[in-house]
Amino acid sequence: MDVLVVVDMQNDFVSGSLGTKEAFDIVPHVVGRVVEGLNRGETILFTRDTHSPDYQNTQEGRRLPVPHCIRGSEGWEIIPQLQEYAAHPIDKPTFGSTDLGALLRARDEDLRRQGKPGVEKVTLIGVCTDICVLSNALLIKAFLPEAEIVVEAACCAGVTPQSHETALSAMAACQITVLRS
């Protein structure tokens, strides 16, 4: 089974309080990759950064004092171009989602019990390369050490272009396949 994970393609990261030109620019590539994944028969999963109104009282909020992705707000929503594909996003209160890792491991084990190949490849796209994409790629690698973990650089954007590149290098060093274009 091949899985495509779309990380945090939410209004606040594309056009809202933490939006960047780079995040805005990858939107057509991400939409195209999701459609391509559906046509290939990949399982598509979305994550959604999710904070409560007391975000600024959390450790993350004290270090990044920009309220964003507050549950129920417009900024929390998946961008309009992807909403039709993201029926049940996995809400995550922090950078990486252990729920996502556990879900993927459970699917892998279930498939193997049925005598089928398990989760063979997990591809990640989305934002921010240097925070949530990196965190989730490493978590998935820990939950599924034998699966190929892939990050498609052209469908990711970091906080800055430099931190995007730094994160891609770090993931490559951790045996994550980084596809460049």
Kindly indicate the confidence band of residue 122, based on its pLDDT and cuts at 50, 70 and 90.
Answer: very high
Coil, strand or helix at 3: strand
Domain containing 102: what range? 2-179
* Sheet order of strands, 90-92 included: 90-92, 43-49, 2-7, 121-127, 148-157, 177-179
Structure pTM?
0.96
Kindly indicate the confidence band of residue 165, based on its pLDDT and cuts at 50, 70 and 90.
Answer: very high
The reported pLDDT for the residue numbered 44 is 98
CATH number of the structural domain spanning residue 113: 3.40.50.850
Residue with tokens 């992705």: 69
Kindly indicate the confidence band of residue 181, based on its pLDDT and cuts at 50, 70 and 90.
Answer: confident
The reported pLDDT for the residue numbered 66 is 82
To the nearest whole number, what is the mean pLDDT of the chain? Answer: 96
- Angle between helix 161-173 and 134-143 (nearest 10): 10
Asked whether the beta carbons of 76 and 12 are under 8 A apart, the reply is: yes
Q: What is the tally of structural domains in the chain?
A: 1
